[in-house]
Amino acid sequence: MKSYDVAVIGSGPGGYVAAIRCAQLGMKTAIIEKYATKGGTCLNVGCIPSKALLDSSHHYEDSIKHFEEHGIEISGDIKVNLEKMIARKNSVVEQTTKGIDFLMEKNNIDSYQGVGSFENEHTINITPSKGDVTQIEAKNIIIATGSKPRNLPFIDLDKERIITSTEALSLKEIPKHLILIGGGVIGLELGQVYSRLGAEVTVVEYMDRIVPTMDSALSKEMRKVLKKAGFNFALSHEVQSVERDGDKVIVKAKDKKGKEVSFEGDYCLVSVGRSPYTAGLNADKAGVKINDRGQVEVNEKLQTSTPHIYAIGDVIKGAMLAHKAEEEGTFVAEVIAGQKPHIDYNLIPNVVYTWPEIASVGKTEEQLKEEKANYKVGEFPMRALGRSRASGDIDGLVKIIADKETDEVLGVHMIGARVADLIAEAVTAMEFRASAEDIARMSHAHPTYAEAVKEAALAATDNRALHI
């Protein structure tokens, strides 16, 4: 039996980053992945394919809606070739997942394909879909088995018309009417892809606003933009049933007055969150506790109830984000190596890759209100920027929330062009505990979307924004 310093179960952004960092720190490392391709949800059926389709559909939307105003005339029809769009997305995924194989080889990490399950607290059985079981042993083990789409108990996912994000990334036709159950991140991103391609899109959301975990200023602005683009919203609606009738899907829900409302579409995407995935792991054989939410229970060092077994990423508590999983992968490798790493979970940014993009870090105004914090707010609209007028991307705003007494930045919330990239400035500022005044006094290149960050900081400090 081969022996390792560390064995990582799962090759998503948590697992493969943990493996690389362990190898960098001189540990003999193995990685075990159930599927033939590495990269987990993120690379195969998550972040990367969804962004590829968002980019492709954005090009199409620009060509039919915005080229003309820029003085670009196209003779002849512009058509979508969905098969080709999906094939391009598949090729982006393939290139990206192959990159992980390259990184494993480069770092001398042994790769095993098959389901990893505990035989005992140091031994793992690896069961491939065909062939014999292999056993390996390791001094330390990292569980990075990720998550899978959550379903509602009364919904029968047929994966043809009543689908999850996985199927939505590979549809064979553009839906005529796509009904989204859940107006969170997946719903809005994939809803926007198909809306741009011509589908009618209806969002049925349980809460009274979309992206309900983010600052409400962002929910409000995004809803306005999507409504203008043709989205229908049924907020404060509790879904009661989803039935298939031939090529139709009928969704029944109760509105906040208890009245039954029915929606008829040809596809229904269930996007009500994701659940931690531990099936087949035999965690109990290693004494690893799973809590009542299905998450692997960990302490502040990300150790499970068996101290040399760690867990990271979507399978534990916290935000289900690729970069959170990556930070935890690095963290655990460094803990095993005897270092004292640190993660500030408050400073993990959250991004929605719609257009306009949404990005956020730190506390929302709703959280600060609940904490009865003494805060002040500075806001700046994107439409007041020269850069926004030049590109035609005038929707959105930057909102900076700072401590009223000390001026320390407590939260930054943005919606607008390229804010997925702009949020890095806010993370850096908050990591160094900057004040709004610090940001306001830094030079921001002109003309850029980043000027909205400086202006919002000026607005937060004595209401002195310059361009509004």
Binding status of residue 271 toward ligand NAD by CB under 6 A:
yes
Binding status of residue 34 toward ligand NAD by CB under 6 A:
no
Binding status of residue 381 toward ligand FAD by CB under 6 A:
no
Binding status of residue 273 toward ligand NAD by CB under 6 A:
yes
Judged by beta carbon distances under 5 to 8 A according to partner kind, the member of ligand NAD, ligand FAD, none in contact with residue 60 is none
E strand or H helix at 134, and its extent? strand 134-143
Please give the structure tokens belonging to residue 358: 């949404």
CA angle 185–189–190, rounded 5-degree value: 115
Please, which residue, 146 or 265, has the CB nearer to ligand FAD? 146
Binding status of residue 206 toward ligand NAD by CB under 6 A:
yes
Q: How many CB atoms lie within 10 A of CB 275?
A: 16
Interface region with ligand FAD, contact rule CB under 6 A, candidates 97-105, 128-136, 274-282, 298-306? 274-282
Hey, CA dihedral for 388, 391, 394, 395, is it positive or negative? Answer: negative
Please, which residue, 145 or 461, has the CB nearer to ligand FAD? 145
Judged by beta carbon distances under 5 to 8 A according to partner kind, the member of ligand NAD, ligand FAD, none in contact with residue 352 is ligand NAD
Determine the size of the site formed for ligand FAD (CB under 6 A). Answer: 36
Judge whether 444 counts as a catalytic residue.
no
Please, which residue, 29 or 295, has the CB nearer to ligand NAD? 295
- Minimum distance between the CB of residue 367 and ligand FAD, rounded to whole angstroms? 20
Q: How far apart are CA 225 and CA 89, in angstroms?
A: 26
Q: How far apart are CA 354 and CA 54, in angstroms?
A: 7
CA nearest 314: which of 293, 334, 333? 293
Binding status of residue 147 toward ligand FAD by CB under 6 A:
yes
Cβ-contact 135, 123 below 8 angstroms: yes
Cβ-contact 272, 280 below 8 angstroms: no
Could you give the C-alpha distances from 390 to 69, 393, 439, in angstroms and in order? Answer: 12, 8, 24
Please, which residue, 165 or 435, has the CB nearer to ligand FAD? 165
Task: Find the binder of ligand FAD among 175, 183, 265, 313 (CB under 6 A).
Answer: 313
Q: How many CB atoms lie within 10 A of CB 68?
A: 11
Q: E strands, 404-453, where?
A: 409-416
Q: Which residue has the tokens 């390259």?
A: 102
Q: How far apart are CA 64 and CA 145, in angstroms?
A: 42
Residues numbered 62 to 121 that lie near ligand FAD (CB under 6 A) are 115-116
- Minimum distance between the CB of residue 382 and ligand FAD, rounded to whole angstroms? 22
Binding status of residue 207 toward ligand NAD by CB under 6 A:
yes
Please, which residue, 146 or 378, has the CB nearer to ligand NAD? 146
Binding status of residue 35 toward ligand FAD by CB under 6 A:
yes
What are phi and psi for residue 369, nearest 5 degrees? -60, -45
Task: Find the binder of ligand FAD among 144, 181, 302, 456 (CB under 6 A).
Answer: 144
Q: Which amino acid is at 210?
A: I
| Chain centroid, CA 467 distance in Å | 33
Position of minimal CB gap to ligand NAD: 184
* DSSP-based three-state secondary structure for 70: helix
What Rg, from alpha-carbon coordinates, does the chain have?
Answer: 24
Interface region with ligand FAD, contact rule CB under 6 A, candidates 255-263, 276-284, 292-300, 429-437? 276-284
Q: How far apart are CA 27 and CA 328, in angstroms?
A: 17
Binding status of residue 183 toward ligand FAD by CB under 6 A:
no
Residues numbered 155 to 184 that lie near ligand NAD (CB under 6 A) are 181-184
The number of helix segments (H) and strand segments (E) in the chain equals 13, 22
What are phi and psi for residue 67, nearest 5 degrees? -60, -40
* DSSP-based three-state secondary structure for 447: coil
Binding status of residue 13 toward ligand FAD by CB under 6 A:
yes
Binding status of residue 46 toward ligand FAD by CB under 6 A:
yes
Please, which residue, 143 or 458, has the CB nearer to ligand FAD? 143
Catalytic pick among 66, 70, 446, 467: 446
Give bridge partners of residue 289 from the DSSP assignment: none
Task: Find the binder of ligand NAD among 20, 43, 272, 430 (CB under 6 A).
Answer: 272
Binding status of residue 42 toward ligand FAD by CB under 6 A:
yes
Site of interaction with ligand NAD (CB under 6 A): 152, 181-187, 189, 204-207, 212, 239, 271-274, 319-321, 351-353
Residues known to be catalytic: 446
Site of interaction with ligand FAD (CB under 6 A): 9-15, 32-35, 40-42, 46-47, 50, 115-116, 144-147, 165, 186, 277, 280-281, 313-314, 320-323, 325, 353
